[in-house]
Amino acid sequence: MAQVKIGILGAGRIGKVHAENLIRRVPEAEVVAIADVRREAAERCAAELGIPRAYGDPRPLLDDRTVDAVFICTSTDTHAPLIEEAAKAGKHIFCEKPIALDLGAIDRALATVNRAGVKFMVGFNRRFDPNFARARELVAEGAIGRPHILRITSRDPEPPPLEYVKSSGGIFLDMTIHDFDMARFMVGDEVIEVYALGSVLVDKRIGELGDVDTTVVTLRFASGAIGVIDNSRRAVYGYDQRVEVFGERGMIRVDNPRLDTAVQSDAQGDHATRIFHFFMDRYTESFVREARAFTAAVLEDTKPPVTGEDGKIPVVMAYAAKRSLEEHRPVRLEEVARGG
C-alpha cells in the first residue's frame, strides 16, 4: 500500500490528536517524525506513539527528504512562517486554522504555496463531521430547494484561559471562525455582508481584555439567503453545536449527538444522557476523516477539499464582524478584503 510519510510540527494537544489518528486509523499515512520547540514534549509523544524521530526544532524535520508532508499544529503566530518554509522545502501541507491573523501574511503564505506547487489544506474539521457532511450533501442535491435561512448555534461549555484569550485574536477569529466556514460550506454560497452584536455576559475579565463572550452575527449571502450565528463562551449543559438550513421545499437540521441514545421515560417525563462536554469527543470522527481526506489528496494528486482560499475567507469574515461590532453597522466583506 502506498503511504504518505508525514512529519508533525507541534506536540501539543491537537498535534497529538493528529499523530494518534494518522498512526492508528489512517493506514495510508506513516508518521516518521515530530518536532516541537519543547523538545521533551516531542520526545515524549514520539516514545508514546512509536514515532522514529523527534526534534526540538522544525528545521531538521523540514530538511528530511523522507518526509512527504507536514501537519502544522503549532501556535497560530507560527503558522504562516512554517507554511512558507514547508512549501519551499517541497512538503505538502496540512495546517490547523487559522492560517494567520494577518491577511497580508495569509496572502504571502498562499503565494509561496502556489509557487511551490504543493498540496495545501486547512483544518476546518467540522466539514468532516458525518452529520454536517450529510446535511451539506442534502443541500447540494437540492433536497430542500434553494436555501433561504441558515441557523448555526455554537457554544462552548466554558471559556478558554485568559492567557489564551489575549493571543487568540478574539472570539470571531478564535471561535466563530469555525461557524463562518460552516456557513459557506453548508449553503454552498459566499457571504457578502455581516452584522455583529456582542456582549460580556460570562466573564467580565474577557471584556477587560477588549473582547466579548456572547455574540450574534447575521450573514447576507450573495444569493440573498440570510444566516444567523449565535455564540457563547459558556453553556453549562455541554458543547452545543447545531445547524439548521431552511429552504423553499423543506428544512435540514443537525442536532447535538449524545453520549448514548437511550431515553428513560417515567412519571416525571423523558430523560436522556448529556451532550458531549469536550470538542475532541464531539468531533473524534471528523478529525480522522479530515486526515484521510488530506492523505488521499496527496496520494491521488487531487485538490484538497479545504483550500487556502477556504482558509482565508473566514478570517476576512471575522475581521468584518469585528469592524461591525465596533462601528455598529453592517460591513461588506469587500471592505476588509481590499483593506478599506
Each residue of 239-256: pLDDT tens digit?
999 999 999 999 999 999
Q: Which residue range forms the structural domain that includes residue 268?
A: 127-283+314-337
- Whether 250 maps to a domain, the answer reads yes
- Whether 215 maps to a domain, the answer reads yes
- Whether 69 maps to a domain, the answer reads yes
Q: Are both 144 and 214 inside the same structural domain?
A: yes
Q: What is the mean pLDDT of residues 205-234?
A: 98
Which range has the worst mean pLDDT, 84-93, 123-132, 270-279?
A: 270-279
Q: Are both 239 and 182 inside the same structural domain?
A: yes
- Whether 295 maps to a domain, the answer reads no
Of 118, 144, 175, the last residue of a domain is 118
How far is it, in rounded angstroms, from Cα 81 to Cα 64?
18
Task: Please list the residues that pair with 54 across neighbouring strands.
Answer: 34
Q: What is the mean pLDDT of residues 200-224?
A: 97
Neighbours of 250 (CB within 10 A): 11
Q: 276 or 246: whose pLDDT is higher?
A: 246
Q: Are both 131 and 104 inside the same structural domain?
A: no
| Mean pLDDT of the chain, nearest integer | 96
**Cell 460550506 maps to which residue?**
185
Q: What is the mean pLDDT of residues 40-68?
A: 97
Q: Are both 249 and 144 inside the same structural domain?
A: yes
Of 118, 145, 162, the last residue of a domain is 118
Q: Are both 33 and 79 inside the same structural domain?
A: yes
Q: Are both 131 and 102 inside the same structural domain?
A: no
Which range has the worst mean pLDDT, 91-100, 123-132, 276-285?
A: 276-285
The CATH number for 231's domain is 3.30.360.10
Cell digits for 137? 450533501
Question: CA torsion 19→24→27→32, rounded to 10°?
Answer: 40
| Overall domain count for the chain | 2
- Whether 290 maps to a domain, the answer reads no
Res. 320: pLDDT tops 80: yes
Query: Is the C-alpha dihedral spanning 163, 164, 168, 174 positive or negative?
Result: negative
- Whether 331 maps to a domain, the answer reads yes
Q: What is the mean pLDDT of residues 207-223?
A: 97
Q: How confident is the model at residue 339 (pLDDT cuts 50, 70, 90)?
A: low
Q: How far is CA 5 from CA 90, 113, 301, in A?
A: 13, 19, 15
Closest by alpha carbon to 37, among 69, 82, 92, 6? 82
Q: Are both 251 and 145 inside the same structural domain?
A: yes
Q: Are both 133 and 24 inside the same structural domain?
A: no
Please classify residue 78 by burial: count the beta carbons closer than 10 Å to its beta carbon, then call 0-12 exposed, 13-18 middle and 19+ buried.
Answer: middle
What integer pLDDT is reported at residue 1 of this predicted model?
66
Q: Are both 137 and 55 inside the same structural domain?
A: no
Q: How confident is the model at residue 286 (pLDDT cuts 50, 70, 90)?
A: very high
Q: Are both 237 and 323 inside the same structural domain?
A: yes
The CATH number for 34's domain is 3.40.50.720
How far is it, in rounded angstroms, from Cα 294 to Cα 298?
6
**Cell 453548508 maps to which residue?**
186
Question: Rounded to the nearest 5°, which phi and psi values hold at 124?
Answer: -95, 85
Q: What is the 3-state secondary structure (H, E, C) of the chain?
A: CCCEEEEEECCCHHHHHHHHHHHHHCCCEEEEEEECCCHHHHHHHHHHHCCCEEECCHHHHHHCCCCCEEEECCCHHHHHHHHHHHHHCCCEEEEECCCCCCHHHHHHHHHHHHHHCCCEEEECHHHHCHHHHHHHHHHHCCCCCCEEEEEEEEECCCCCCHHHHHHHCCHHHHCHHHHHHHHHHHHCCCEEEEEEEEECCCCHHHHHCCCCCEEEEEEEECCCCEEEEEEECCCCCCCEEEEEEEECCEEEEECCCECCCCEEEECCEEEECCECCCHHHHCHHHHHHHHHHHHHHHHHCCCCCCCHHHHHHHHHHHHHHHHHHHHCCCEEHHHHHCCC
Please classify residue 270 by burial: count the beta carbons closer than 10 Å to its beta carbon, then call 0-12 exposed, 13-18 middle and 19+ buried.
Answer: exposed
Of 118, 138, 170, the last residue of a domain is 118
Q: How confident is the model at residue 337 (pLDDT cuts 50, 70, 90)?
A: confident
- Confidence (pTM): 0.95
- Whether 304 maps to a domain, the answer reads no
Q: Are both 136 and 172 inside the same structural domain?
A: yes
How far is it, in rounded angstroms, from Cα 275 to Cα 260?
9
Q: Are both 55 and 12 inside the same structural domain?
A: yes
Question: With pLDDT > 90 as the criterion, what percentage of the chain qualifies?
Answer: 92
- Whether 211 maps to a domain, the answer reads yes
Strands 331-332 and 191-199: antiparallel
